[in-house]
């Protein structure tokens, strides 16, 4: 499952994270990746729902904060990213997207 949380502002931010990574912190050198529940939420959705939501938010010019292999795969399927650009911290891929 994938956790999502939509932060509304003048430009929305969609936070997307693999459910099993919520609450975990990864450190590698100067890089720190922290999948905090307050930011990524606890609303779990399926892969298909995540793809649809990301496509909807892409049409709204949202920005995206994506952590985890499942979430990266869904974002690639939604046409938002090329997974080859994801950076890894302790083997966990993440990507920030400004469209």
The 10s digit of each residue's pLDDT in 20-33 is 999 999 999 999 99
**Cross-sheet strand order for the sheet of 13-18:** 43-45, 2-7, 13-18, 63-67, 92-98, 87-89
Q: What number of other Cβ atoms are within 10 A of residue 82's Cβ?
A: 10
Question: What is the per-residue pLDDT across 62-87, written as a single tens digit (0 to 9) for each?
Answer: 999 999 999 999 999 999 999 899 99
Reply yes or no on whether the pLDDT at 99 is more than 90: no
Q: Give the pLDDT mean for 40-69.
A: 96
Domain chopping of the chain, boundaries: 2-84
pTM: 0.92
CATH 3.30.1860.10 is the classification of domain 2-84: yes
pLDDT at residue 5, rounded to an integer: 97
């Amino acid at each position: 499952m994938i956790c999502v949380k939509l932060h509304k502002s003048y430009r929305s931010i969609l936070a997307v994270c693999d459910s099993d990574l919520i609450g975990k912190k990864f450190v590698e050198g100067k890089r720190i990746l922290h999948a905090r529940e307050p930011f990524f939420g606890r609303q779990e959705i399926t892969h298909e729902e995540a793809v649809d939501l990301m496509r909807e938010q892409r049409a709204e010019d949202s920005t995206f904060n994506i952590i985890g292999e499942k979430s990266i795969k869904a974002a690639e399927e939604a046409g938002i990213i090329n997974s080859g650009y994801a950076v890894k911290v302790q083997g966990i891929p993440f990507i920030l997207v400004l469209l």
